[in-house]
C-alpha cells in the first residue's frame, strides 16, 4: 500500500488527501446533525393554567422532556396548575428539548406571625400584606392609643408573635377607639379576684395597666387585688375626700396577692355628664 502511494504523482496524492479530509468533515457534520437533531424544530404548546399532569402529558406527546423546576403559592390559582413555562408557549425550539415548569404548590408556605401590637392600623395593614396574610374584621374598644393595634386575633383567639401560620391566613385586629366622652367613677377593685376585675373593667371600657404581683403568686387569675391606682377617693388638703373620675380607655394599675381581702364599702359606679 505504501509503495502504491509513493509511486503516484504528487498531485494525485494531494487530491486524494483533500478528498479524504472533505469526506471526514462531511461525516462529522452529518453525525453532529444527527445527534443534535439539527434542523428539526417543534412548536412548544402553551400549558399555562393547565393541571401539571395534563401539561406533562401534552408536552411529552410532542416529544419534549419535562422537568418541574419550581413550585410557588398563588391563592388565586388552582392547586397544581402550571404558572410558568420555559421556553414559553408557541416558541420554536429543537426537538426533544427539556421544558421547565413552575407549578402552584399544594399548600401555602408557613410564615411567622409578627408582633403588631402597638403599631398603627395603617402600618399593621401594610406589614400583613407584605407577609402574604389577609386582614379580617376589626373591632374597637376604648383606649388612649387611638387606631393602634391592641390585640391581634387568629380564628377569633389571640395569637402570639412567632406562631407558625399559613400564608393567606386571616388576621383580625382590636383597635383603640380613643378615650370616651363620659367620665366614670373609679371602680372599687380591692377584694376582687384578678379575673373578676378584668372582666368588670372590660365591660366599662377601662384597661388593666401594670400588674404588680407578690412573689408567692402562682395563679394570677385567682389572686386577690389588695391595692389599686387610681384609688376610689382622693384626700383633699382640707381633710375631706372626693370621688376620683376616669374616662373609658384609661388604665388602672393593680397589686395582687394570695390572701383574700375584705373589700371596703364601695359606691355604685355612676356616669357624670360633662
Query: What integer pLDDT is reported at residue 274 of this predicted model?
Result: 38
Whether residue 140 is contained in a domain is answered as yes
Same domain flag for 141 and 165: yes
Query: What integer pLDDT is reported at residue 273 of this predicted model?
Result: 39
Higher pLDDT, 8 or 72: 72
Residue pair 173/138 in contact by the 8 Å Cβ criterion? yes
Same domain flag for 49 and 98: yes
Whether residue 60 is contained in a domain is answered as yes
Q: Cα–Cα distance between 145 and 168 in angstroms, integer?
A: 28
Same domain flag for 121 and 68: no
**Which are the contacts of 83, defined by CB distance < 8 A and separation ≥ 6?**
48, 72, 74, 77, 102, 103, 104
**Which are the contacts of 35, defined by CB distance < 8 A and separation ≥ 6?**
none
Same domain flag for 166 and 239: no
Q: Is the pLDDT of residue 251 over 80?
A: yes
Whether residue 34 is contained in a domain is answered as no
Whether residue 13 is contained in a domain is answered as no
How wide is the angle at C-alpha 61 spanned by C-alphas 60 and 67, nearest 5°? 10
Same domain flag for 169 and 191: no
Mean pLDDT, residues 164-189: 86
Task: Specify the number of domains making up the chain.
Answer: 3
Query: What integer pLDDT is reported at residue 33 of this predicted model?
Result: 58
Whether residue 19 is contained in a domain is answered as no
The model carries a pTM of 0.51
Same domain flag for 265 and 188: yes
Same domain flag for 163 and 215: no
Higher pLDDT, 130 or 26: 130
- Of 88, 104, 120, which marks where a domain is finished? 104
Q: Please, where are the H alpha helices in 69-153? A: 121-130
Whether residue 171 is contained in a domain is answered as yes
Q: What domain range is 201 assigned to?
A: 183-272
- Of 128, 149, 176, which marks where a domain is finished? 176
Same domain flag for 87 and 149: no
- Of 85, 104, 123, which marks where a domain is finished? 104
**Which are the contacts of 132, defined by CB distance < 8 A and separation ≥ 6?**
73, 108, 111, 167, 168
Query: What integer pLDDT is reported at residue 12 of this predicted model?
Result: 58
Same domain flag for 188 and 267: yes
Same domain flag for 257 and 198: yes
Q: Is the pLDDT of residue 89 over 90?
A: no
Q: What is the DSSP letter of 87?
A: S
Whether residue 223 is contained in a domain is answered as yes
Same domain flag for 169 and 153: yes
Q: Is the pLDDT of residue 250 over 90?
A: no
Q: Cα–Cα distance between 201 and 254 in angstroms, integer?
A: 12
CATH number for the domain that contains residue 195: 3.30.10.20
pLDDT-derived band at 75, boundaries 50, 70, 90: confident
Same domain flag for 132 and 161: yes
Whether residue 251 is contained in a domain is answered as yes
Amino acid at each position: 500500500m505504501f509503495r502504491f502511494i509513493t509511486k503516484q504523482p504528487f498531485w494525485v496524492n494531494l487530491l486524494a488527501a483533500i478528498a479524504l479530509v472533505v469526506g471526514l468533515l462531511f461525516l462529522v457534520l452529518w453525525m453532529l446533525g444527527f445527534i443534535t437533531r439539527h434542523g428539526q424544530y417543534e412548536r412548544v404548546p402553551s400549558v399555562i393554567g393547565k393541571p401539571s399532569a395534563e401539561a406533562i402529558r401534552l408536552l411529552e406527546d410532542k416529544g419534549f422532556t419535562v422537568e418541574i423546576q419550581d413550585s410557588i403559592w398563588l391563592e388565586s390559582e388552582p392547586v397544581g396548575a402550571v404558572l410558568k413555562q420555559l421556553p414559553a408557549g408557541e416558541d420554536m425550539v429543537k426537538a426533544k428539548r427539556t421544558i421547565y415548569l413552575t407549578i402552584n404548590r399544594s399548600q401555602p408556605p408557613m410564615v411567622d406571625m409578627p408582633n403588631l401590637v402597638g403599631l398603627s392600623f395603617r402600618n399593621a395593614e401594610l406589614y400583613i400584606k407584605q407577609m402574604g396574610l389577609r386582614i379580617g374584621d376589626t373591632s374597637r374598644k376604648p383606649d388612649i392609643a387611638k387606631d393602634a393595634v391592641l390585640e391581634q386575633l387568629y380564628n377569633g383567639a389571640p395569637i402570639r408573635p412567632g406562631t407558625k401560620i399559613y400564608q393567606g391566613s386571616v388576621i383580625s385586629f382590636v383597635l383603640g377607639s380613643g378615650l370616651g366622652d363620659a367620665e366614670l367613677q373609679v371602680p372599687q377593685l380591692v377584694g376582687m379576684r384578678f379575673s373578676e376585675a378584668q372582666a368588670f373593667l372590660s365591660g366599662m371600657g377601662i384597661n388593666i395597666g401594670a400588674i404588680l404581683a407578690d412573689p408567692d403568686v402562682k395563679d394570677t387569675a385567682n389572686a386577690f387585688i389588695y391595692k389599686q391606682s387610681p384609688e376610689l377617693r382622693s384626700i383633699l388638703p382640707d381633710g375631706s375626700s372626693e370621688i376620683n373620675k376616669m374616662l373609658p380607655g384609661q388604665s388602672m394599675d393593680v397589686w395582687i396577692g394570695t390572701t383574700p381581702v375584705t373589700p371596703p364599702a364601695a359606691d355604685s359606679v355612676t356616669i357624670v355628664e360633662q
